[in-house]
C-alpha cells in the first residue's frame, strides 16, 4: 500500500507542477505516513518531482524539542526529506518546544496558522494517517480542537496518546485542500476505516469529517479494509 500510495503521490505532484508551476503537500506522521515517505524515497520515479518547486507542510506535530526522535519533522527527514533537493524556504516546519515561541504551543500554532493563511494557493494534497480511534492529524474524538471553526491551526493539550501536547491543523485548513488522502494499513485500523466510511460523523469520528474540495481518497490495505462491506480493498471517493 505504501508503494502504491507513493506512486500515486508522484503522479499527483507532477501533474500539479505541470498545471501550476508548483505543488504543495501536507505530510502525516506515524507508521503509515512514514512508510509512504520511505517508499517514495526508494522509488525510481521520485526524481520526476521537481523538489525545488514543492512546498512541504505538516498536518500536526508533537510539541517537543527540535530534533527529538518523536517529532514528525525528524522522522520525515530520516525517511525522505534529507534525500531530496528541497528548497529550505519551502519546508514549513511547526515550531518545536525549544523554538522561537518557547514552551507555548498556542503561540506556535498561531504562527503556523499565519503561514498557512499566507500561502499563495490551496494545498494540493493533505496526507492523513487514520488512527485506530479514527483520529486524523492531532484531532481526536471528542477533543475541543475538533470543533474549531475559525483558526487554521491550534494547540492540542491533553491528547489521549503521548505526547499530550501537540500542534495541529484544523478541519478548516484540511478541508481547504484540493485533495485529502486518508491512509490506513493494518488490522488495527479496520474498525476505524469501517466507521468513517459508513459516514459515522460527529465528534466521535474525526476521519469521517476530513475531505478535500475536489477529491477525498481512502488508501487501505486488505487488513484495514477487512470490515468494509463488499470486496472493499479500496474506497475511492470523488
Longest dimension (CA), the chain: 51
Q: Along the 238 residues of the chain, how does pLDDT read in single tens digits?
A: 999 999 999 999 999 999 999 999 999 999 999 999 999 999 999 999 999 999 999 999 999 999 999 999 999 999 999 999 999 999 999 999 999 999 999 999 999 999 999 999 999 999 999 999 999 999 999 999 999 999 999 999 999 999 999 999 999 999 999 999 999 999 999 999 999 999 866 789 999 999 999 999 999 999 999 999 865 444 443 3
Please give the pLDDT value at position 154: 98
CATH 3.40.50.1360 for the 2-224 domain, yes or no? yes
Please give the pLDDT value at position 238: 33
Sorted by where each begins, the domain ranges of the chain are: 2-224
Amino acid at each position: 500500500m505504501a508503494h502504491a500510495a507513493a506512486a500515486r503521490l508522484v503522479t499527483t505532484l507532477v501533474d500539479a507542477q505541470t498545471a501550476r508551476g508548483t505543488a504543495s503537500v501536507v505530510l502525516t506522521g506515524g507508521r503509515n505516513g512514514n512508510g509512504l515517505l520511505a517508499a517514495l524515497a526508494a522509488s525510481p520515479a521520485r526524481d520526476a518531482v521537481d523538489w525545488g518547486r514543492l512546498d512541504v507542510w505538516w498536518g500536526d506535530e508533537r510539541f517537543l524539542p527540535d530534533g527529538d526522535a518523536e517529532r514528525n519533522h525528524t522522522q520525515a527527514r530520516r525517511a525522505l526529506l534529507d534525500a531530496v533537493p528541497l528548497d529550505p524556504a519551502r519546508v514549513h516546519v511547526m515550531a518545536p518546544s525549544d523554538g522561537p515561541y518557547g514552551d507555548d504551543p498556542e503561540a506556535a500554532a498561531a504562527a503556523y496558522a499565519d503561514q498557512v493563511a499566507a500561502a499563495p494557493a490551496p494545498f494540493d494534497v493533505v496526507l492523513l494517517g487514520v488512527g485506530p480511534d479514527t483520529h486524523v492529524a492531532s484531532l481526536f474524538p471528542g477533543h475541543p480542537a475538533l470543533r474549531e471553526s475559525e483558526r487554521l491551526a491550534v494547540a492540542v493539550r491533553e491528547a489521549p496518546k503521548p505526547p499530550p501536547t501537540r500542534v495541529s491543523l484544523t478541519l478548516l485548513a484540511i478541508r481547504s485542500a484540493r485533495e485529502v488522502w486518508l491512509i490506513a494499513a493494518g488490522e488495527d485500523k479496520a474498525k476505524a476505516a469501517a466507521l468513517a466510511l459508513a459516514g459515522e460523523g460527529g465528534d466521535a469520528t474525526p476521519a469521517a469529517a476530513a475531505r478535500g474540495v475536489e477529491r477525498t481518497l481512502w488508501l487501505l490495505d486488505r487488513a484495514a479494509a477487512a470490515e468494509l462491506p463488499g470486496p472493499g480493498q479500496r474506497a475511492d471517493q470523488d
